[in-house]
Amino acid sequence: MRFNAKDLALLAKRPSGCFDKEGKLKICRVVGDEKLIEPRERWCRLKGNLLFLMKNKSSEASEVVILERCWVVEFKSKTDVSIILKFQSGEPDLYIEAASKPDCEAWAVALGEANSEGLRNKIQQLRRLIMEIKEERASEEARQFLPSSQVDSLGEPQFTSIQRIANEPKLEFSLACKGLVAATRDRKLNTFIQVSVVHPAEHILTRYSSTEIVEGTRDPLFLTGVTFPPEYPIYEETKIKLTVYDVKDKSQDTVLTSVLPDHKEPRADVGRSFLGCATFRVGDLVKSKEQQLTLTLRTSDGGKTVGTIEVNLVKMGEFEDGEMDHITTDAQDQKCALVRECTAPEGLSGKDNLPSLNAVLKNPICKLYRFPTSDNKWMRIREQMAETTLSFHVPKELINLHIKEDMRRNQELKDLGELAPHWDNMRKSVIAHCDQMLSMYQDTLAELGKHTGSSFKSSCSKGEKTLEFIPINLHLQRMHVHSPRLKDALYDVITVGAPAAHFQGFKNGGLRKLLSKFEAERRNTGYQCIYYSPENTAKAKEVLSNINHLQPLISSHADLLLNSASQHSPDSLKNSLKMLSEKTELFVHAFKDQLVRSALLALYTARPGCVLKKPAVPRSSAEESDDLKHQNHPSQIKRQDSIPHHSEYDEEEWDRVWANVGKSLNCVIAMVDRLLEKDNSSKTKEGESDPSAADCKVLHAGGDWYEQLYPLVITLKDCMGEVVTRAKQSMAFVLLQELACGLPQCLMLTLRRDIVFSQALAGLVCGFIIKLHTSLHDQGFLQQLHTVGLLVQYEGLLSTYSEEAGMLEDMAVGISDLQKVMFKVIEAKSEDFLPIITGRREHYVIEVQLPAKMFELLPQEIKEGKLLRMYPVLFNVGINEQQTLAERFGDTTLQENINQENLELLKEYYNLFTEKMPPDCLPHFQEQNDLKGLLENLHQNIQAKRRKNVEIMWLAATICRKLNGVRFTCCKSAKDRTSMSVTLEQCSILRDEHQLHKDFFIRALDCMRSRQTQGALNESDDPETGCLTDNKPTSRHFYPVALLLVSSHLLVVWLILSLALLLAKYQ
């Protein structure tokens, strides 16, 4: 943001009446809980979103604070007269202290309303006030024209709501027609029913949904039902209109059925003709004894009868008894004994998990089907697709962590101290580039904070820079099956676009190729920097993380030890000493690595005018670190000529500093033992002093515990502080080499990896939470979760041709990086159930919050905070026409390598599972082959290298389900290919696990893929893209790809034409 300094200076000197608020305040900057300087008195003037800070009322402004992307933290204490102004950008907080509590509150309100967000809130409040005034006036004007009797009874319209189970659909019913009359006697009807809703308050006809098309019968039985989600405004007074159409041209009708206005009937020339319609009240259906209505279908003029339509109220726990070619109308048959055999799974219908699950899922879209089983019974399927709030929540949390981590890294680079000119210039260049990247992260977070509207990113937005961290089309696809003789079952698939950096493009490939190329180039850098392997840089980040985590813990435990000593409490002293010893041992262990020693050695040579303490002593190769032994490499000779020889550094100094921490701890332990022993002996008899503390200086042998422990604890803290200072500087020097060797490619690759990982992590968190909620009563799964970990299987449908090959490379790295993620389940302390993310780039912990009642269902290990491991695997099979090109003219090695690598990971998880888990923990499916056979079959299919071998996907999905895993299906945008795969998988499960009648497999598949059944949800506008569509499939998972199979002759012609166009384009 740019400002004219002269204009700001003139604005600050304007008369007092021109400002929103002014007065004396004490101001200073705050980092964390520490004030950088003591608060200084300033004359403050507030104008709009500008806060001017002046030494006195007549002086010039010394500082201007822009009040944007900030918020006010006001302390509720009656005596506190200070507030904190926090900034989203990450800059130090502004501490503001007023003279009195009323003055403090007035400044808090003024500053809170100064930014644009405050102005927007004020505008919205005024708009609401205006609307309320208008409504009151309109109501008063209406009352003037009504009789007094009507005025007394006038009030808000009251409608009777439908009582249903929480989080269950409000209303569901199935449809069938009988005795339909055709225009000509010999014509076979192809019919479907369009469902419209008349809301009682508005009296407007709204098209809601449609059934599938049933061909060649005058007594159609529709497999697709009608369902109204829990939040839909439907009441007993609501009217539903059912319109029956005869389709003349089915292929044309699938495009034109939903582009007509609600109040007009379609013309005969658009491919369908109107047969008849009927209307009923929802209350009549709900209150009917048989829970069924038989309505007469009449023509548009209401004269001629063209048949009847049967409406059956559906309750998912009840089943229709009878043959599959008709619907039983006997009420006694509907309430059969099979109801007891098919109750909802335990925990699925409970209310305890609704608040936490509703915090994650929103805007569900439901569909209802009834399919016949092989024994001529009906099973009912409820299909649901829901968005998730995690699409934006997880990336924002992750970006915030990246900002904090990068700010900490930049500060560590600045704290390296004085360096030689060569290294100092390198540090300045690195910090400048890092600051640019940090600013970019902050801008992205600010833009995401402004986002309103949909909770998912549509495919047409995948190229937007501000949304590049957001996953594409992240949804939950759930199938709830109620079978007559089997237990109810839930099948969840998370659908999401392939995690990839679409905005950055794929001209040079994806992460897999770019990282390999970058690492090869970095190995061959010249004398400018020292090469450290990726393992060493990862180790350096881990050491820094351990330091930042353990140092405060050790300091707090040391203070607790002194506090226990001052209270003369032996038990408390023992416990404090135990905790101090454990944390200090972890601290010391963190530096038992050659990397720290070699990095200190390298940092020593980078200091200006370093003094060599020892003559050169040759060292063996075993003593050299991996990053320092390249004497035989040509480029390394040049590098060693630019800096002093590392062998001349005195390494014993670091060993002494490092060992002093352990020695100081031993002195503290010895003193505590001596004090406790003397305390015990004094209670019984006089004893001799303990010789074990002879090496430690004892102050006042009979003195106070605190006085004797205090100097030893201070010595321990001092030794630890010296170790921390040196270790931090040495590890920061390693990170400096990593960044300097690859500027700016290193930072750009980090950005790309962060983008891909953010998209992958959002999906993983969603999948984990859904799986945990649906399996809370499955003790076998919970045991598997904390004993082995969770299997996460990704089904990729990307081709290995052109840009999609780069997407696949990004996706493979992003999913592999999910191995760094651990989950932890905690009890929620508030109504906010969204997950909490902590950690750093190499290690993240996701804390999933559960309500108290759900948390109590978990095993003790999980409740105690045990970290839960993830095992992500990816299997990819390209299935589109681009994959045909890749297989005939390109290269499929990438896909083959990915599948082979992940097969080994899957086998590793299976072996771990069989070692640690009893065999009865596997789900009891009707299976013919065991897991070992399925794995062997999968191995053979991967080795076969057949073209478009979809058997790999089916086998991997089956293994995942049998191992209680989480399923993901991904393609470029999670639309066409994903919808084809998910619907095929759902119908295959119904056939294999729930006895779907073999003659109805294709029809069931057509029902799930039918665009016809979406009705008002996608009329002429694509809800996913937000733009007008003609024949373009929408993003919902129910539509087939336009072209699935092409004959070989047409394929050859198409390939020739495509190659000709490509040649013409690039010439």
d(CA 226, CA 1004): 16
Let me know how long the chain is: 1067
Task: Round the average pLDDT of the chain to a whole number and report it.
Answer: 79
Name the token pair of 510: 């994806």
Strand partners, 843: 840
* Range from 43-57, 339-353, 684-698, 952-966 that averages highest in pLDDT: 952-966
Least confident piece of the model among 13-17, 558-562, 869-873: 13-17
What confidence tens digit (pLDDT) does each residue in 94-149 have? 889 898 888 888 888 888 888 776 677 677 667 666 766 655 555 454 444 444 44
Q: What is the DSSP string of 528-550?
A: TS----HHHHHHHHHHHHHHHHH
Residue pair 824/847 in contact by the 8 Å Cβ criterion: yes
Residue 59: how many other CB atoms lie within 10 Å: 12
Residue 490 has pLDDT above 70, yes or no: yes
Give the pLDDT of residue 1064: 62
Residue 323 has pLDDT above 70, yes or no: no
Give the pLDDT of residue 920: 67
Is residue 341 helix, strand or coil?
helix
Catalytic, 610? Answer no
What confidence tens digit (pLDDT) does each residue in 422-477 have? 888 989 999 999 999 999 999 999 999 988 878 888 888 888 899 999 999 999 99
What confidence tens digit (pLDDT) does each residue in 621-650 have? 333 344 433 433 333 323 333 333 444 555
CB burial of residue 627 (10 Å; 0-12, 13-18, 19+): buried
Residue 918: how many other CB atoms lie within 10 Å: 10
What confidence tens digit (pLDDT) does each residue in 139-190 have? 454 444 444 444 444 444 577 777 666 667 888 999 999 999 887 777 788 9
Q: Which residues contact 893 (CB under 8 A, 6 or more apart)?
A: none
d(CA 442, CA 658): 38
Closest CA to 154 of 162, 142, 163, 164: 142
d(CA 90, CA 93): 8
What band does 576 get if pLDDT is binned at 50, 70 and 90? Answer: confident
Q: What is the DSSP string of 864-918?
A: TT--EEEEEEEEE---SHHHHHHHHHS--HHHHHHHHHHHHHHHHHHHHHHHHS-
Least confident piece of the model among 146-150, 651-655, 892-896, 984-988: 146-150
Least confident piece of the model among 35-44, 772-781, 1031-1040: 1031-1040
Pairing label, strands 305-313, 361-372: unpaired
Give the pLDDT of residue 876: 95
Residue pair 475/496 in contact by the 8 Å Cβ criterion: yes
Residue pair 177/297 in contact by the 8 Å Cβ criterion: yes
Is residue 421 helix, strand or coil?
helix
Residue whose pair of structure tokens reads 């995942």 in the numeric block: 960
What band does 921 get if pLDDT is binned at 50, 70 and 90? Answer: low
Greater model confidence, 430 or 485: 430
Detail the DSSP E strand segments found in 200-321.
205-210, 214-215, 226-228, 239-247, 272-281, 292-298, 305-313
Residue 421 has pLDDT above 80, yes or no: yes
Write down the catalytic residue from 70, 667, 971, 1007. Answer: 971
Strand partners, 362: 387
Least confident piece of the model among 223-232, 474-483, 505-514, 983-992: 223-232
Phi-psi category of residue 682: left, alpha or beta, with phi > 0 → left and psi -120 to 50 → alpha: alpha
What band does 256 get if pLDDT is binned at 50, 70 and 90? Answer: very low
DSSP category for residue 84: E
Greater model confidence, 558 or 1040: 558
d(CA 961, CA 559): 51
d(CA 948, CA 980): 15
Give the pLDDT of residue 639: 33
* Range from 38-52, 241-255, 769-783 that averages highest in pLDDT: 769-783
